[in-house]
């Protein structure tokens, strides 16, 4: 029987749930509070650089199976571009060394045994010392599980986990870090090819989903903020949009795919993470040098990752709370100095934009991870999605899509 499903929130989790349900033949209505779909994963035209930029540079890996399947479902898998082999160039500002971390094409992590492919100045046994991380309990921190110092830590583990967890790795959840390591480094080269939405997050991961939904007769309403659930017993029976209310039929279902603070307001008593961390992105209108890699890891700098896009160099700085109140131009100049060093370019500060997402992700510590709820609620026809729900992963696109897929599967299984 065809159900009508209301999805609250048009971020990646809401859109992925909507796409899965629409493909299963159900009537889907997506309600988004803001005037743009995409949530924390979106593009917009920036007058300062005269370019369409993303709110943040988003890196996916080829092993992000749910995210890649989602792109395939909306017809944009080819828009996720990256090198054919899992290779990551790095530069270390403290020593000036540059190297290519080459995870190769094989499933087995043989690169660890090859001096020319692993991180310089590290030995095989350094890698074995990471073993306790791979199956660590969610109650432990990374600092409890492994030694957070030394060349391998500084040059690989710290950059990888900082990007994935968005907290200083020693305080991060060892359980979440372990999931990342299992699904990336341990899964070998085929799972680690970097993928970037080169034509922009909205063009690759958001707008095609909206178009696909609309082509199937589904509706995506922007500027349509849910104010309250109407409940009766163990069911949600209506949606209150502030004067524009919708009554639900007995077979109808709802997926709430909003951020944690909005979720806690809409569903009082719901356990959600309460602490968040910022991510800072800087975009410079500057033609990358012809040999610039699409992504460069920077060790020992303010900049952590440098991305080369057509007409633009962009950087990501995770765990960026310390930078959110720094004067914008001062920050842009400091970042540009790092960009020049890393990319081997020079020149005055070009047109720039700084995007500081204050609540980019929940704080991936054991304490906050323990507050994440599952997808099921005490209401039989209401399910949760979002990168902050209990996906087993840190706040990532892969986690968002997994949560959306899971919520959709629960709706499909509903009797
Ligand atoms: C700067 C930055 C960089 C990042 N980098 C990466 C990366 O490199 N790789 C990666 O995998 N992930 C990255 N992430 C994380 C990724 O963006 C998120 O995990 C993902 O976008 C979250 O999607 P979501 O659907 O769970 O939540 P959201 O994107 O927050 O979507 C929730 C939606 O609900 C809407 N909403 C809220 N309240 C209501 C209401 N009452 N009614 C209707 N709608 C409502 C919101 O407006 C929003 O559109 C990054 C995030 C940021 C901010």
> What would the pLDDT profile of 166-213 be if each residue is shown by its tens digit?
999 999 999 999 999 999 888 989 999 999 998 999 999 999 999 999
Cα of 8 to ligand 1 centre, how many Å?
13
131-135, 163-167, 192-196: which range is least confident on average?
131-135
Q: Which residue's alpha carbon is at the smallest distance from atom 48 of ligand 1?
A: 39
Give the residue-averaged pLDDT of 254-258.
Answer: 98
Mean of the per-residue pLDDT values for the chain? 95
* Torsion angle of C-alpha atoms 261, 265, 269, 271, degrees rounded to 10: -10
Give the residue-averaged pLDDT of 147-151.
Answer: 95
**Which residues does 178 contact at the CB level (< 8 Å), separation at least 6?**
133, 134, 135, 136, 145
∠ CA(397), CA(287), CA(316), 5° rounding?
30
Cα of 17 to ligand 1 centre, how many Å?
14
Beta bridge partner(s), residue 30: 7, 220
Give the residue-averaged pLDDT of 100-113.
Answer: 89
Give the residue-averaged pLDDT of 327-353.
Answer: 97
Is this structure's pTM higher than 0.85?
yes
Give the residue-averaged pLDDT of 272-286.
Answer: 98
Q: Which residue's alpha carbon is at the smallest distance from atom 14 of ligand 1?
A: 396
Give the residue-averaged pLDDT of 358-386.
Answer: 97
**Which residues does 167 contact at the CB level (< 8 Å), separation at least 6?**
277, 319, 363, 364, 365
Measured CA to CA in angstroms, residue 318 lies from 173, 263, 357, 381 at distances of: 16, 25, 10, 37
pLDDT band of residue 321 (cuts 50, 70, 90) is very high
- Tell me what pLDDT residue 36 has: 98
- Tell me what pLDDT residue 1 has: 65
CA-to-CA distance for 321 and 262, rounded, in angstroms?
A: 21
The overall longest dimension of the chain from CA atoms, in Å, is 66
Q: Which residues line ligand 1 (CB under 6 A)?
A: 8-14, 31-34, 39-41, 55-56, 58-60, 225-226, 257-259, 262, 279, 281, 357, 360-361, 386-387, 395-398, 400
pLDDT band of residue 106 (cuts 50, 70, 90) is confident
* Higher-confidence position of 378 and 198: 378
Work out the number of other CB atoms within 10 angstroms of the CB of residue 325: 8
Cα of 119 to ligand 1 centre, how many Å?
33
What 3-state DSSP class applies to 158? Answer: helix
Q: Give the burial class of 250: count Cβ atoms within 10 A of its Cβ; 0-12 exposed, 13-18 middle, 19 or more buried.
A: exposed
Cα of 331 to ligand 1 centre, how many Å?
25
Cα of 133 to ligand 1 centre, how many Å?
27
pLDDT at 25 over 90: yes
pLDDT at 318 over 80: yes
């Amino acid at each position: 029987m065809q159900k009508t499903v209301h999805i609250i929130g048009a971020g990646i989790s809401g859109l992925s749930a909507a796409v899965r349900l629409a493909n299963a033949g159900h009537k889907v209505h997506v309600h988004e509070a803001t005037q743009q779909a995409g949530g924390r994963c979106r593009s917009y035209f920036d007058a300062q650089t005269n370019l369409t930029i993303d709110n943040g540079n988003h890196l996916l890996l080829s092993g992000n199976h749910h995210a890649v399947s989602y792109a395939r479902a909306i017809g944009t898998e080819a828009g996720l571009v990256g090198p054919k082999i899992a290779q990551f160039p790095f530069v270390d500002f403290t020593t000036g060394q540059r190297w290519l971390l080459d995870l190769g094409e094989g499933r087995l992590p043989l690169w660890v045994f090859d001096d020319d492919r692993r991180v310089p100045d590290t030995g095989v046994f350094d890698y074995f010392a990471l073993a306790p991380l791979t199956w660590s309990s969610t109650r432990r921190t990374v600092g409890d599980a492994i030694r957070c110092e030394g060349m391998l830590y500084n040059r690989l583990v710290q950059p990888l986990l900082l990007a994935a967890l968005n907290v200083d790795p020693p305080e991060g959840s060892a359980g979440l870090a372990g999931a990342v390591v299992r699904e990336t480094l341990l899964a070998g080269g085929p799972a680690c090819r970097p993928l970037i939405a080169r034509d922009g997050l909205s063009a690759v991961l958001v707008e095609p989903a909206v178009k696909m939904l609309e082509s199937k007769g589904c509706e995506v309403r922007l500027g349509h903020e849910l104010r309250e659930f109407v409940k009766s017993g163990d069911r949600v029976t209506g949606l209150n949009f502030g004067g524009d209310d919708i009554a639900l039929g007995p077979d109808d279902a709802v997926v709430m795919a909003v951020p944690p603070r909005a979720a806690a307001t809409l569903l009082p008593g719901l356990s959600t993470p309460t602490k968040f961390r910022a991510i800072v992105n800087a975009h410079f209108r500057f033609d990358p040098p012809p040999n610039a890699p699409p992504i460069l890891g920077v060790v020992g700098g303010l900049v952590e990752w440098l991305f080369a896009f057509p007409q633009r160099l962009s950087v990501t700085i995770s765990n960026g709370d310390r930078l959110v109140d720094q004067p914008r131009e001062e920050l842009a100049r400091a970042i540009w100095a790092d960009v020049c060093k890393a990319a081997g370019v020079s020149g005055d500060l070009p047109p720039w934009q700084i995007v500081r997402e204050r609540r980019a992700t929940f704080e991936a510590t054991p304490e906050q991870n323990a507050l994440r709820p599952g997808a099921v609620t005490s209401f039989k026809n209401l399910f949760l999605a979002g990168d902050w729900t209990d996906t087993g992963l840190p706040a990532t696109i892969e986690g968002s899509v997994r949560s959306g897929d899971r919520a959709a599967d629960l709706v499909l299984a509903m009797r």
